[in-house]
């Protein structure tokens, strides 16, 4: 089959959707010897990483760059819904759409939906994202032959909130890749960001859904000399100056090697998000053999599979108790880290691609 896929989100390497897209590209290149793929992405200033560009260009597949900002394509495709994808790619048998735009197409379309947070918690979503996703999902409902959900929780949301039949949706869990870092990498990241051990790691853009303000309040109730390191670029939320103290470090955006060095250096990981479609960082932490605290929300309950300490993300006291439990109990940390590590090994791109290719074949035959 001749399959097109929108990989525009791979430009945003630090986001969960960006990592998912990069992993999917590598999965296709490494594990599909049958189909011909056209990788299409739009960007005006940002670009794919040099390594990923080279890997695609040296393969037998095609790469098409549309030098337009995603906001313009969102207007053309999501709002006006003009300019079919074949104007850029030529004839396709299937086009897989991404997280931002839903172009018209003459071929069958498959759509990836990461979450429906814009419907679940609209107050935590920026107005531009709310508008974009609202427009996009109208076309998904009308035109997509099949939908890939990143978790069963997201699949349930798609059926209940978008009224899309369950038989048009398949759940495929993402693969999660990690990087091993050297002692030199680790020493450099500690020095660069002035981080003191022992520390708890949190990862997430500074936006309401990631629940950073409650995490800080919960951490601030601890009495021991521990530190909290928060990794993530500034989003549309702000943290009040009075919430910041000497035991809390904000690194902002970090490189991939720095992020994985921090995973390896931390004592444990916390992710009290209000809502996720999957929750990429919790599996990253597990693959680094770290105990995890995360939220009692459907997707995270599903994804961690009973191998994490769970808290109510709306309760500062509950988050605090979970943090205190892992600080005080080294054997609990060790037990969770070992269980989580074994469990996390199932999240591979080879498994993902096996499931995706079966799904594509079924769609071809229908």
Segment 198-219 shows an average pLDDT of 93
User: Does the structure show a pLDDT above 60 at 329?
Assistant: yes
Residue bearing the bigger pLDDT, 207 or 229: 229
Core vs surface per residue 125-153: b (16+ CB within 10 A) or e: beeebbebbebbbebbbebbebbbbbbeb
Could you give the dihedral angle defined by the CA atoms of residues 161, 162, 163 and 168, in that order, rounded to the nearest 10 degrees?
Answer: -120
Confidence at 145, pLDDT banded by 50, 70, 90: very high
pLDDT at 242: 55
Could you give the dihedral angle defined by the CA atoms of residues 194, 199, 202 and 207, in that order, rounded to the nearest 10 degrees?
Answer: -50
User: Does the structure show a pLDDT above 60 at 189?
Assistant: yes
pLDDT at 14: 79
pLDDT at 243: 61
User: Does the structure show a pLDDT above 90 at 124?
Assistant: no
Sheet with 309-311, edge to edge strand ranges: 248-252, 227-231, 199-203, 268-271, 292-295, 309-311
Q: What rounded mean pLDDT belongs to the chain?
A: 94
| CATH number, span 183-344 | 3.40.50.2000
Percent of the chain predicted with pLDDT > 70: 97
Other C-beta atoms lying within 10 Å of the C-beta of residue 336? 23
Domain boundaries, the chain: 2-175+348-365, 183-344
User: Does the structure show a pLDDT above 80 at 18?
Assistant: yes
CA dist 40 and 65 (Å) reads: 6
CA dist 247 and 266 (Å) reads: 14
Q: How far apart are the first and last CA of the chain?
A: 14
pLDDT at 238: 61
User: Does the structure show a pLDDT above 70 at 168?
Assistant: yes
Confidence at 110, pLDDT banded by 50, 70, 90: very high
282-300: pLDDT as tens digits? 999 999 999 999 999 999 9
| 303-306: Cβ within 8 A, 24+ apart | 303/151, 303/173, 303/276, 303/278, 303/279, 304/279, 304/340, 304/343, 305/343
Q: Which residues contact 248 (CB under 8 A, 6 or more apart)?
A: 216, 219, 227, 228, 229, 230
pLDDT at 297: 95
CA dist 276 and 299 (Å) reads: 6
User: Does the structure show a pLDDT above 80 at 103?
Assistant: yes
Poorest-confidence range of 34-38, 122-126, 318-322, 326-330? 122-126
CA dist 185 and 101 (Å) reads: 38
Other C-beta atoms lying within 10 Å of the C-beta of residue 107? 18
Contact (Cβ atoms closer than 8 angstroms) between residue 20 and residue 110: no
CATH ID of 2-175+348-365, from 1.10.260.40, 3.40.50.2000, 3.40.50.300, 3.40.50.720: 3.40.50.2000
CA dist 236 and 124 (Å) reads: 9
Confidence at 229, pLDDT banded by 50, 70, 90: very high
Query: Do 2-175+348-365 and 183-344 agree at the fold level?
Result: yes
CA dist 213 and 299 (Å) reads: 21
237-285: pLDDT as tens digits? 666 555 667 799 999 999 999 999 999 999 999 999 999 999 999 999 9
Return the bridge partners of 297, or none: none
Cα-based distances in Å from 11 to 141, 181, 209, 356: 26, 23, 22, 23
Segment 318-343 shows an average pLDDT of 97
Nearest CA among 280, 241, 288, 242 for reference residue 264 = 288
CA dist 129 and 49 (Å) reads: 25
Segment 116-123 shows an average pLDDT of 90
User: Does the structure show a pLDDT above 70 at 236?
Assistant: no
User: Does the structure show a pLDDT above 80 at 97?
Assistant: yes
Segment 165-182 shows an average pLDDT of 97
Nearest CA among 205, 202, 262, 200 for reference residue 225 = 200
Nearest CA among 8, 28, 13, 19 for reference residue 349 = 28
């Amino acid at each position: 089959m001749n399959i097109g896929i929108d990989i525009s989100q791979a430009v945003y390497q630090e986001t969960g959707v960006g990592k998912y897209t990069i992993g999917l590209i590598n999965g296709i290149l490494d594990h599909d010897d049958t189909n011909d793929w056209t990788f299409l992405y739009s960007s005006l200033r940002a670009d794919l990483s040099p390594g990923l560009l080279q890997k695609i260009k040296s393969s037998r597949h095609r790469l098409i760059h549309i030098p337009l900002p995603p906001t313009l394509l969102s207007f053309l495709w999501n709002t006006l819904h003009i300019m079919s994808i074949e104007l850029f790619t030529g004839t396709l048998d299937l086009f897989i759409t991404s997280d931002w735009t839903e172009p018209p197409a003459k071929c069958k379309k498959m759509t990836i939906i990461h979450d429906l947070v814009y419907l679940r918690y609209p107050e935590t979503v920026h107005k531009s994202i709310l508008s974009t996703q609202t427009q996009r999902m109208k076309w998904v409902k009308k035109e997509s032959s099949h939908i890939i959900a990143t978790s069963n929780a997201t699949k349930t949301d798609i059926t209940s909130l978008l009224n899309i039949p369950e038989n048009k949706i398949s759940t495929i869990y993402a693969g999660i890749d990690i990087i091993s870092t050297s002692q030199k990498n680790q020493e450099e990241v500690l020095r660069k960001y002035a981080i003191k051990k022992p520390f708890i790691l949190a990862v997430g853009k500074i936006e309401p859904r990631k629940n950073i303000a409650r995490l800080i309040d919960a951490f601030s109730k601890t009495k021991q000399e521990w530190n909290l390191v928060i990794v993530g670029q500034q989003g549309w939320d702000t943290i009040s100056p009075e919430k910041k103290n000497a035991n809390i470090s904000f690194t902002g955006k970090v490189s991939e090697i720095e992020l994985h060095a921090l995973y390896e250096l931390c004592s444990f990981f916390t992710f009290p998000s209000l809502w996720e479609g999957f929750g990429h960082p919790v599996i990253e932490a597990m693959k680094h053999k770290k105990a995890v605290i995360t939220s009692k929300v459907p997707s995270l309950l599903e994804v961690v599979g009973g191998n994490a300490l769970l808290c109510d993300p709306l309760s500062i006291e509950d988050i605090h108790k979970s943090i205190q439990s892992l600080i005080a109990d080294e054997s609990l940390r060790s037990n969770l880290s070992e269980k989580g590590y074994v469990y996390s090994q199932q999240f591979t791109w080879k498994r993902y691609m096996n499931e995706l290719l079966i799904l594509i074949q079924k769609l071809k035959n229908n």
